[in-house]
Amino acid sequence: FGKELTVEELPLPADFAWGTATAAYQVEGGISADGKGKSIWDTYAHLEPSRTNGENADVTCDHYHLVPEDVELMSSLDVDVYRFSIAWSRIIPLGGRNDPINEKGIAFYNDLIDRLLARNIEPVVTLYHWDAPQGIYDRYTALLDTAEFQADFKHYASLCFSRFGDRVKKWVTFNEPYIISIFAHLNGTLAPGHCRAVGTDTKTEPWRVGHTVILSHATVVEMYMADFFPTQKGQISIVLNGHFYEPYDTTSQIHIDAAQRRLVFYIGWFGDPVFLGQDYPPEMRAYLGSRLPEFTAEERELLQRTAKFNAFYGMNHYTTKYARALTDPPADDDWTGNIEELAVNSQGQEAGPVSGIAWLRAAPGGFRKLLNWVWDRYHLPVIVTENGCPCPGEDDVETAVDDKYRQMYFGLYLDAISRAIYEDGVKVEGYYAWSLMDNYEWSAGYGPRFGIVHVDFKTLKRTPKNSAYYLKESFQKRRKATK
Ligand code: PNW
């Protein structure tokens, strides 16, 4: 960070919620404890260790056994919210609508929820954070079969609502459909690792997977509102990720258009059908042609009926990139709209100082612009469901605990939220730091540490980093400033 960047600790609304987030496979461990079934991540990490840095999450943070300690830790940090995900294969080991239910798995989540509520921490629960049961992948390739997946996901969701919905009042159906579609079914860097190299159809698979997510989401929203909302009175929505894109060259119309097009291909892909009840964005239809599935008339009606029920826009956001329009003909499985993403623009200016992971640079100005872009397009209150970073050179516990880069990053990103609220009129209701603790960063293994709490993966000892105390105190200060 340059000297000119200082954190101003601008105010936030008195009722603004702060929280921390995790995902089941990244933190739980206990992968076969008490009858848990396998997920596609267990298979991927074990079968193809070369694609996951040789590492798996068999144990990881062992959150499964250390929940009491982890809840006390969160309580000591004064968090309002804990966003976690349910491992589908923990409660329905084989995943399908006719498969047996695992009561011990349900008991684990009941205990977690009860402990959180006893400490006045609100559970925000994600149903699908990338760990499809291996059973449904074996049977019909999971997300690639829209009708089968929709039916099984609906059954799983209804089990969750009926067992946990008396106490869980904020539900997220899917985490980051873009990543599920592109990374897991085109680049192949996440389970189940479909990509050109293994001979899958990268021209159409990602778009089919996206279609499955959108329709499964809408089906579950409709069921929640009809069957559960009248008694449970909770909220439901989806979490979309997305970088902000600045034009590679602000004096050239093709790059200005490219930056807008990239946002539409990244966020509009899911946002327009889910939140507006519309077809895919026209730019995508024009570019992708028959690669993009069609919604039937009945499906269009489902989207139109359910759009208004989404209670918030769940935003996972980490960084900003430059979008550069390409002029050569794209590859036949291009998913970008023929755009190259860069960290440096035509003037040699960097998007921001690089963090401890190559794709993530601190760029709070882009965050503020994205909050505005999303608000203008969807007009829904935003909850920032993930934001955070690994620090450069964060390898031993001493340097890890004094995490200056992360404190600066959080400070500037919170300032950006304050500006978006008070200067731009965007409605932002909460902020969940990614992540509560260092964990298994998918195919990057245990290298990148996103936690506000350090985890020693040999002893499992948790040590809060200075950023954890920074957030605790900063939220006290920022929220008092508005009273
Ligand atoms: C999110 N990207 O994923 C996930 O929801 C988390 O599970 C994950 O640990 C976290 O961000 C940090 O990576 C992303 O390359 C992974 O653009 C990669 C990207 C974006 C989000």
Cβ atoms of 431 and 16 closer than 8 Å: yes
Distance 434 CA to ligand 1 centre (A): 9
User: 149, 121, 147, 127: which is closest to 137 by C-alpha?
Assistant: 149
| Residue 77 to residue 107: CA distance in whole angstroms | 26
Ligand 1 atom at minimal distance to the Cα of residue 359: 15
Q: Is 152 in the pocket of ligand 1 (CB under 6 A)?
A: no
Task: Give the single-character DSSP code of 361.
Answer: B
pLDDT of residue 122 exceeding 80? yes
Instruction: Return the best residue to mutate from 22, 176, 263 for the ligand 1 pocket (most ligand atoms within 8 A of CB).
Output: 176
pLDDT of residue 14 exceeding 60? yes
pLDDT of residue 386 exceeding 70? yes
> How confident is the model at residue 49, as a pLDDT?
80
pLDDT of residue 400 exceeding 70? yes
Q: Is 386 in the pocket of ligand 1 (CB under 6 A)?
A: yes
Q: Is 176 in the pocket of ligand 1 (CB under 6 A)?
A: yes
Rounded mean pLDDT, 222-248: 98
Q: Is 23 in the pocket of ligand 1 (CB under 6 A)?
A: yes
**In the Cβ-directed half-sphere of 191, how many Cα atoms lie within 13 Å?**
26
Task: Give the single-character DSSP code of 337.
Answer: S
pLDDT of residue 395 exceeding 90? no
426: tokens are 């965007």
Rounded mean pLDDT, 175-179: 98
Active site residue 8: no
Q: Is 175 in the pocket of ligand 1 (CB under 6 A)?
A: yes
pLDDT of residue 3 exceeding 90? no
Distance 2 CA to ligand 1 centre (A): 26
Active site residue 176: yes
| Residue 414 to residue 410: CA distance in whole angstroms | 6
How would DSSP label each residue in 271-326? HHHHHH--PSPHHHHHHHGGGSPPPPHHHHHHHHHHHTT---EEEE---EEEEEE-
pLDDT of residue 169 exceeding 60? yes
Radius of gyration of the chain (CA): 21
Distance 362 CA to ligand 1 centre (A): 15
> How confident is the model at residue 2, as a pLDDT?
55
Q: Which residue has the tokens 């990057």?
A: 444
> How confident is the model at residue 82, as a pLDDT?
99
Distance 252 CA to ligand 1 centre (A): 31
By three-state DSSP, how is residue 201 classified?
Answer: coil
Q: Is 450 in the pocket of ligand 1 (CB under 6 A)?
A: yes
Distance 467 CA to ligand 1 centre (A): 20
Note the pTM of the prediction, 2 decimals. 0.98
Of residues 397 and 33, more confidently modeled: 33
Chain centroid, CA 7 distance in Å: 26
Ligand 1 atom at minimal distance to the Cα of residue 319: 17
pLDDT of residue 6 exceeding 90? no
Q: Is 22 in the pocket of ligand 1 (CB under 6 A)?
A: no
Nearest CA to ligand 1 atom 8: 441
358: tokens are 């190559």
Cβ atoms of 215 and 274 closer than 8 Å: no
> What is the average pLDDT score of the chain?
97
pLDDT of residue 430 exceeding 90? yes
What's the pLDDT band for 4 if we cut at 50, 70, 90? low
Residue type at 417 in one-letter notation: I
Q: Is 241 in the pocket of ligand 1 (CB under 6 A)?
A: yes
CA distances from 254 to 246, 326, 343 (A): 12, 9, 18
Nearest CA to ligand 1 atom 16: 179
- Give me the count of residues in the chain: 483
Spatial neighbors of 15 by CB under 8 A, at least 6 apart, are none
> How confident is the model at residue 37, as a pLDDT?
98
pLDDT of residue 48 exceeding 80? no
pLDDT of residue 436 exceeding 80? yes
Handedness of CA 180, 107, 121, 462 (dihedral sign): negative
Residue type at 9 in one-letter notation: E
Cβ atoms of 261 and 283 closer than 8 Å: yes
pLDDT digits (tens, 9 = 90+) for 183-217: 999 999 999 999 999 999 999 999 999 999 999 99
pLDDT digits (tens, 9 = 90+) for 320-360: 999 999 999 999 999 999 999 999 999 999 999 999 999 99
How would DSSP label each residue in 104-161? HHHHHHHHHHHHHHHTT-EEEEEEESS--BHHHHHHH-GGGSHHHHHHHHHHHHHHHH
Distance 444 CA to ligand 1 centre (A): 11
What's the pLDDT band for 450 if we cut at 50, 70, 90? very high
**In the Cβ-directed half-sphere of 165, how many Cα atoms lie within 13 Å?**
23
Q: Is 460 in the pocket of ligand 1 (CB under 6 A)?
A: no
Distance 441 CA to ligand 1 centre (A): 8
Cβ atoms of 336 and 243 closer than 8 Å: no
pLDDT of residue 483 exceeding 80? no
- % of the chain surpassing 90 pLDDT: 95
Spatial neighbors of 199 by CB under 8 A, at least 6 apart, are none
Ligand 1 atom at minimal distance to the Cα of residue 439: 9
Nearest CA to ligand 1 atom 2: 359
| Residue 106 to residue 140: CA distance in whole angstroms | 25
Paired with 125 in beta bridges are: 84, 171
| Residue 425 to residue 421: CA distance in whole angstroms | 5
Instruction: Return the best residue to mutate from 53, 434, 450, 455 for the ligand 1 pocket (most ligand atoms within 8 A of CB).
Output: 434
174: tokens are 């899917």
> How confident is the model at residue 396, as a pLDDT?
74
Cβ atoms of 384 and 315 closer than 8 Å: yes
Give me the catalytic one of 28, 176, 299, 394: 176
pLDDT digits (tens, 9 = 90+) for 139-156: 999 999 999 999 999 999
Distance 103 CA to ligand 1 centre (A): 31
